[in-house]
Structure 1
Amino acid sequence: MEKGTMVGKHAAEFKLSITKALGDQLALALETLTPIPLTPDALGALDASPGVYQLYLGGALVYVGKADRSLPQRLEKHLRKLSSRSGMDIADVTFSCLYVEEDFSAVAPERLLISRHKGLGEVPWNYNGFGNNDPGKRRDRTLVEGDHFDRLFPIDLDWTLPGIPQGRSSLAQLLVWTKGALPYLFRYQDSPSFADIVVEVPTGTGDADQLLAVISGALPDGWRITALPGYVIMYPEEGDYPSALRYYQAGQSVEPRSLRVSRADG
């Protein structure tokens, strides 16, 4: 037997697992809480402090996250995102949270919780696209797999947009307004010419699909708007996107042929 491995009545091996103990403590503390609906009123009652949180869909734990500075601010982003997704009802989304301040960044509490719940087959939204920010242009043509969050719960293109500036405005102004009003990412390539292009937004234009079609009708030749499962982009380009939900060009809203075929087969 090699030196240092002897085990007997006077000696034994001991493996210190502080991180597991912390993860267990966090999980137990969260289990004592009752999740409540993810609503503006509920978030308004929270302290603007750092911490960890858990999201539930229909009572099932689907995501664990952290807020480095403000829990309500972070959760408000999730509320906005989830409210504008197809395939779910925001009324079915609940949350619970813990304020965690001491040595917050050092212990990475959300990772401890994720590790624990992953082992139990929970938190399917973690590492599955839910918490991602803009993936960048180079990822736009990546095929979004069927079990990805954005594929399971794609953006709602029929989302109502209150206060659409109807009537005449410059394309540049309308794009800025649209980017700020959409509840999901709208990334586009700007052009100096947009300031000189006048767009007439018809009375009655009320949702994202209608507005994107109007904008596409004012774009120069070769430009197109593409709705992907998790966001919308606008560039001067050609070619298909493997995961496109809808194309907007020359004032028309068109589903990709692949979607129409799959729907017919289903």
Structure 2
Amino acid sequence: MAEGYVEFEFDLPAALLDSLVAEFAKMSSASLTHEHTVQVPDEQGVYQLLVGGKVVYVGKTDADSGLRGRLSKHAWTIQHRQNLKPSDVQFKAARVFVFTAMDLEKLLIRHYAQTAGEVWWNFSGFGSNDPGRNRDQTELKAAGFDAVYPIDLDHPVDIKTEGGVPAARILDELRSELPYTLRAEGDGSRGRRPHPDLVNSIVEPFSVKPATTREVLTSVLDVLPQGWQATALPGRIIMYRETRDYSAGVIVGRSPTRS
């Protein structure tokens, strides 16, 4: 080794991880609600979700969505769930001005898993998109997000029906109110025309407002021709012309037999 010379290798990932963990540790958390998430800059960074003070989810934003957008999406996702109130979930977020090729999300997940137990929302299906019709028969993970926090069909929704309107419109309004997927046969929300049964069947105004999701679905089924079924699956509701059981689902109702 030459005099006056040394080789020094700086462990950037470890240093950044240690700094972030220390910063998160001294931060106060905020409730994952709109009034708090809207105040977070929509910048690139990392964040964590906590329940009961324990980290349950770690995420990193990308070029498509900043911290505000990502946290707002999560705040919407946790609505209308059994066993979980929005006020139960807290968040901490940090803007990171310099990102490298390292996977900060993976490093943080590994750190909290080793020091505080499993960061289980990361591996539970939390925030997943609609898997599509071909996956409707998939078994439910016993420890998954949807199994622990099933969708709440008895949560009130604000559906406006001053006069009788087509079932397709009712489903559109309900879809906009729900923080999870509502998929119907001939789903008009995907650029296709709604099924004729949904267009031609008229739903009368609800006698009680606000109605619940279950009551809205039942009102739609009541006016549809025989053969329709609504089923609550893990994290979503489907409505098809069928009579079948789903191992991971609960039948909400079926259209009545017509004489």
TM category, shorter: 0.7 to 0.9
Q: 1:237 aligns with which of 202, 222, 242?
A: 242
Indicate whether 1:217 and 2:222 are aligned: yes
Q: Indicate the RMSD between aligned Cα atoms, in angstroms.
A: 2.3
Identity in percent: 34
Indicate the SS of the match to 1:125: helix
1:86 alignment partner in structure 2: 82
1:114 aligns with 2:109: yes
Aligned CA distance change for structure 1 residues 221 and 152 (closer, same or farther; 3 Å) = same
Matched with 2:4 is none
- Matched to 2:33, the amino acid is T
User: Quick check: 2:46–2:61 contact (8 Å CA) kept in 1?
Assistant: yes
Provide the residue aligned with 2:151 in structure 1.
155
Alignment partner of 2:123: what SS? coil
5+ residue gaps, structure 1? 1-13, 253-266
Q: Is the 8 A contact 2:231 2:252 kept in 1?
A: yes
1:240–1:192 Cα change, 3 Å: closer
State the distance in 1 between where 2:142 and 2:75 align. Answer: 23
Give the deviation of 1:158 after TM superposition. 0.9
Structure 2 matches for 1:13-32, cutoff 5 A?
18-32=12-26
Cross-structure match for 1:47: 41
Question: Contact 1:170 / 1:197 at 8 angstroms: preserved in 2?
Answer: yes
2:164 counterpart SS class:
strand
Counterparts in 2 of 1:131 and 1:153: CA distance versus 1, 3 Å: same
Q: Can you list the C-alpha shifts for 1:65-101, whole angstroms capped at 9, x where unaligned?
A: 1222221221122112212111022222111001124
Query: Which range is displaced more, 209-218 or 116-125?
Result: 116-125
Deviation at 1:227, TM superposition (A): 0.7
What residue is the counterpart of 1:97 in the other structure?
93
Length, aligned pairs only: 238
Gapped regions of structure 2 (runs ≥ 5) = 1-7, 187-193
Deviation at 1:25, TM superposition (A): 3.0
Residue 31 to residue 180, structure 1, CA distance change in 2 (3 Å): same
Contact 1:167 1:203 in 2 (8 A): no
1:57 CA displacement: 0.7
Q: How does 1:116-135 map to 2 (within 5 A)?
A: 116-120=111-115, 121-135=117-131
Cα distance per residue 1:232-262 (max 9 Å; x no partner): 111222321111134221269xxxxxxxxxx
